[in-house]
Structure 1
């Protein structure tokens, strides 16, 4: 067997839990975390429905300790919470000589926008907006002196960070990496999606005929990926394998996917090819499923195109957490691994009415089933479509 990519650590924080165990419990209980916005003042506070992490910035800093750099963004703080859990599960105390790849959509916008009137007086605040600052802060807190970089491809950011980390391992440039994504809510994000008329004033309903938009969320999800060659001499538990991945672009529109979902179709098809799997090998799809009219229709169209009359159970977990943007693929990668470990496909909350064109139904209740391979989709603005496949078995690549 050639070298493959194993997952040895997972860590996360979302609106439904401060760690992996709490998130899994909430999923099992069908308990979502979408409530009215609390932490950001302005016209949207106490009105807009979001999946908000309960802790304030001050409370997150207290959890992390006094070594947190001054003016660290909420994106950085959430990333550090999740990353530390992932490293701990993997038995890694310090991330020295360990590459860190962070995916994020808006980086430190949450702190940048608070100080906009004062930027000319303090240029450091401009630096905190840079998406690279979040990975720099993370590396400083974790003790990494290796490659540290950020990827920002909108809502597929974390998926591309995970894929980049896998490439480092498969090419022999690293034997273990920390990969994932983090994004915090901000006025910029909320106002931006509001201007696009994509926000729902109700709880989101992925793949339902009566869906009317998304609820934004925030959080972070990180994985420790390790080379199976490097694990041969250890007894470290393996949580699953990243057996396939792909990135494609349908080059259609800045904020919507093409009518027939070409980018989504290509990403899924190419991910299957990289894992040497056929569509019939997939036992569960963690769909992107934003509950917008465009995404759910075109993603379902792409799924039908690829899987034809053998469509596996599929659902969107954004009904629990909201759409966490650049963090979503990191968070949902962990949900995919939990599905593998627990042999359980998660319910698509609030599904009642089948949409048309195409008339595909997500699973409305938890479904115990034999799961060997999970396909997880993440599609971003600009047509950036990415797919990850997690498996029980090693892939030949």
Structure 2
């Protein structure tokens, strides 16, 4: 059994960059990724801003080594997971027991949507291969095969906490001596179904989102993928480079308050953060930065803020929502923001909460509006709170 779990490598692709270095540069330069819809055919083009990855499926296929005709969800996953494994640079990787724990919420829905456009117009048209990999698990299998991982693979789908739970689960697999190395995180691509669903909930902002602002009006949907390579102490000792940090705490809670809304008093959020702190052995005063779930919806930000107010009392650390850059990437958000948390520790920075202007009336704190550099960032809490009250907090700590 490994008493500690380390992050040996990271990989990410989002609307603000095609790899970790590009994402970091955009975060430092306050460059958001939102814009007009281009990749999907929808009536909301020119009306609802989204945060799209700027590459075509053909370009993603070239980067990932996967075939172009598969789902964009899998292609995004392939790019980020490949980068993470390369970044870890684990000597004799195939000698270790390895696993791929990946999350997503849409699966191959983008390809299914393409099929039904043709099929409904003419029942003799449409390519059945487009619906073959519709389910979420197919995305994981395609990428695991491409990475050469066959010891263990599984898929997590718990809405917006999905990839945080994948990382949580990957750590437990290592701690319980089931695996030595786990590539964990998640992916999601934009689809018409997702766009229509969130629009029906009336929680999409027609302008660029303003998380944790008193005048916030909703979220912007995004797409992307983010993965961390988790390793045991035994593997960490063989690495060419020192691990980036340790995954010191994690916890999942579920307040089951509502199918799509957080409890007003932030019960699930509070329990997730409290449990992660207990697991890590840290106090609230030890946390140097909180990467907020911070979607920009009135309900979410109020619930998360209320929970932070209750747990941290007067000792509020710097915090911000990087969804102000990437949009809400749903099943990928926890993985992308885990990578951003690791980069914050490595680069001693705290990201700004873009477009923040006015503190929320009910909160005694506000997010950072400017980039903070040369910071002592030893412990970062990353929050991912999903539909149904499924809430997860991760804590990354410097070594």
TM-score over 0.5 (shorter chain): yes
Q: Which residue of 2 aligns with 1:383?
A: 389
**Counterparts of 1:126-205 in structure 2 under 5 Å?**
126-205=131-210
Tell me if 1:305 matches 2:303.
Answer: no
- Structure 1 residue matching 2:149: 3-state secondary structure: coil
- Structure 1 residue matching 2:229: 3-state secondary structure: strand
Q: Which residue of 2 aligns with 1:98?
A: 98
Q: CA deviation at 1:9?
A: 0.8
Q: Which residue of 2 aligns with 1:236?
A: 241
Tell me if 1:254 matches 2:252.
Answer: no
Cα distance in 1 between the residues matched to 2:238 and 2:54: 41
Cα distance in 1 between the residues matched to 2:39 and 2:386: 26
Deviations 1:330-361, CA, capped at 9 Å, x for gaps: 10001111111111111111110111122421
Q: Which residue of 1 aligns with 2:75?
A: 77
- Structure 1 residues 233 and 324 mapped into 2: Cα distance closer, same or farther (>3 Å)? closer
- Structure 2 residue matching 1:217: 3-state secondary structure: coil
Q: CA deviation at 1:69?
A: 4.5
**Cα contact 1:211–1:293 (8 A) shared by 2:** yes
Write out the 4+ residue segments of structure 1 that deviate beyond 4 Å after TM superposition.
Answer: 92-97, 119-124
**Counterparts of 1:38-77 in structure 2 under 5 Å?**
38-65=38-65, 68-69=66-67, 71-77=69-75
Deviations 1:336-387, CA, capped at 9 Å, x for gaps: 1111111111111111011112242111111232111000000111111000
Q: Which of 325, 336, 347 does residue 331 from structure 1 map onto? A: 336
Q: Which residue of 2 aligns with 1:364?
A: 369
The answer for unaligned runs of 5 or more in structure 1 is none
Q: Which residue of 2 aligns with 1:274?
A: 279
- Structure 1 residue matching 2:155: 3-state secondary structure: strand
Q: Which residue of 2 aligns with 1:340?
A: 345
Moved more, 347-356 or 124-133: 124-133
Q: Which residue of 2 aligns with 1:219?
A: 224
**Cα contact 2:61–2:67 (8 A) shared by 1:** no
Q: Which residue of 1 aligns with 2:212?
A: 207
**Cα contact 1:3–1:229 (8 A) shared by 2:** no
- Structure 2 residue matching 1:12: 3-state secondary structure: strand
Cα distance in 2 between the residues matched to 1:235 and 1:325: 34
Q: CA deviation at 1:235?
A: 4.0
**Cα contact 1:101–1:179 (8 A) shared by 2:** yes
**Cα contact 1:69–1:137 (8 A) shared by 2:** no
